[in-house]
């Protein structure tokens, strides 16, 4: 999750654009290295732009899949943490469990935002999105499972009757040893 953010979006500080297609050396402040001719790149204009677009959409699709798979590593790490935390209720295990529940939920809330930069007509984002959602749901399930192993889910009859007041009795009787 954190990683995905680092690669993408507004957080980007610099980038190398390998598909640089400017022909005029003057547009760059650094002169071309000797022996390098820009002309060789100058091919058919239309093919160039198509290729460029293809490359970009490919790249976007690839990135989208990468982002979609990112929660998997998270999942593994969470599982390890949970295993470490043990099955008794204390501060550490509760903290882990709640973060395991909270992360997928907040990630699911921001599904649209995460895939915003890869939005493209040609890129099919449905697959990555579904994977992303599925992985996060998996994380959520893991959290719920942990919650259950900690005994914090009301799945037993005892959880529902433990605060039931005693039933009223219809009859009333008093007395004792005569004074």
* Chain residues that interact with other proteins, rule: CB under 8 A: 91, 151, 154-179
The nearer residue to other proteins, 80 or 92, going by C-beta atoms, is 92
The nearer residue to other proteins, 89 or 137, going by C-beta atoms, is 89
**Nearest-approach distance from CB 157 to other proteins, in angstroms:** 5
Residue of 80, 107, 105, 97 whose CA lies nearest to 148: 97
**Nearest-approach distance from CB 151 to other proteins, in angstroms:** 7
Two tokens, residue 46: 């239309």
What dihedral do alpha carbons 83, 87, 91, 95 form, nearest 10°? 50
Q: What distance in Å separates the CA atoms of residue 37 and residue 82, rounded to the nearest whole number?
A: 58
Count CB neighbours of 142 within 10 A: 18
The nearer residue to other proteins, 121 or 162, going by C-beta atoms, is 162
**Nearest-approach distance from CB 176 to other proteins, in angstroms:** 6
The nearer residue to other proteins, 94 or 131, going by C-beta atoms, is 94
CA angle 104, 106, 112 (to 5 degrees): 100
The nearer residue to other proteins, 36 or 102, going by C-beta atoms, is 102
**Nearest-approach distance from CB 19 to other proteins, in angstroms:** 31
**Nearest-approach distance from CB 88 to other proteins, in angstroms:** 8
Residue of 123, 149, 146 whose CA lies nearest to 65: 123
Contact 64/128 with Cβ under 8 angstroms? yes
| Helices 91-109 & 126-149 angle (0-180, nearest 10) | 160
């Amino acid at each position: 999750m954190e990683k995905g953010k680092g690669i993408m979006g507004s957080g980007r500080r610099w980038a190398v654009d390998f598909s640089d297609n400017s022909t005029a050396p003057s547009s760059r402040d650094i002169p071309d290295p000797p022996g390098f001719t820009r002309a060789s790149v100058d091919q058919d204009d239309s093919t160039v732009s198509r290729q460029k677009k293809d490359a970009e959409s490919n790249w976007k699709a690839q990135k989208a899949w990468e982002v979609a798979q990112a929660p998997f590593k998270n999942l593994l790490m969470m599982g390890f943490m949970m295993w470490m935390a043990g099955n008794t209720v204390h501060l550490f295990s509760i903290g882990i469990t709640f973060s395991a529940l909270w992360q997928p939920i907040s990630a699911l809330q921001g599904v649209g935002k995460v895939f915003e930069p890869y939005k493209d007509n040609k890129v099919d984002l449905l697959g990555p999105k579904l994977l992303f959602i599925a992985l996060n749901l998996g994380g959520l399930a893991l959290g719920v499972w942990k919650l259950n192993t900690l005994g914090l889910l009301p799945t037993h009859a005892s959880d529902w009757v433990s605060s039931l007041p005693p039933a009223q009795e219809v009859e009333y009787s008093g007395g004792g040893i005569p004074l």
